[in-house]
Amino acid sequence: MPKISVLNMAGENVGELELSEAVFAIEPNEAAVHASVVNYLANQRQGTQSTLTRSGVSGGGKKPYRQKGTGRARQGSTRAPQFYHGGIALGPKPRSYRYAINRKVSRLAFKSVLSAKVRDEELIVIDELKTDSYSTKAVVAMLGAVKAAKKTLIVLESADEKFYRSARNIEGVKVAHAGAVCAYDLINCDSLILAKGAVAKFEEVYA
């Protein structure tokens, strides 16, 4: 089983934790990670883009010139796509981009990213993540003490309003709890800080 040092918020080593091989030491599956990330990004799209077809552009009700005898191609409206100020042919209309991927693929992607973080030494485990008051300074000090990268994801065991509000103004830092994290969140950070309780929850769900 892979082992990792457990730190406190002051950056001091307070112990060692054995990580589950089934969650933190698998061979990362790039195809599953790619499918999960593309799925997440597609589901974030609003799909509100819209263009006007020839029927939606104002004007063009009169036939521009007679049908025969001009030597030009016949035209029924100046709002056809080939004209200036004409409508758009086959342009986008509002639609949903949402789709689902298999649960097995989603779980495999999650475990693959966690395993890659351990392999690349981008995972930091802290025994307890909490603040007694709303204090951004305390969170900044913690990030410096554990030598976190500029782009960091902090995962708490459960939702903590004080900690969340203390960290939300720090550039490049995102805070979430163990039940609200996806593979995209994990891969979109240079340092992953997990509370010890969050590690236990991941192992409980994904092992």
Amino acid at 47: G
Sheet hosting strand 152-156, strand order edge to edge: 13-18, 3-7, 123-126, 191-195, 152-156, 173-177
What is the reported pLDDT for 6? 92
Condensed to tens digits (0 to 9), the pLDDT of residues 183-205 reads: 999 999 999 999 999 999 999 99
CA-to-CA dists, residue 150 to 37, 111, 136, angstroms: 22, 23, 15
Condensed to tens digits (0 to 9), the pLDDT of residues 65-111 reads: 999 999 999 999 999 999 999 999 999 999 999 999 999 999 999 99
Angle of helix 103-119 relative to helix 30-44, nearest 10 degrees? 110
Residues forming a β-bridge with 191: 152
CA-to-CA dists, residue 97 to 44, 48, 184, angstroms: 8, 10, 17
The pTM (predicted TM-score) of the whole model is: 0.84
Condensed to tens digits (0 to 9), the pLDDT of residues 3-18 reads: 899 999 988 888 899 9
Condensed to tens digits (0 to 9), the pLDDT of residues 109-144 reads: 999 999 999 999 999 999 989 888 898 999 999 999
Round the average pLDDT of the chain to a whole number and report it.
93
Amino acid at 201: K
- Domains detected in the chain: 3-46+101-206 (3.40.1370.10), 51-91 (no CATH)
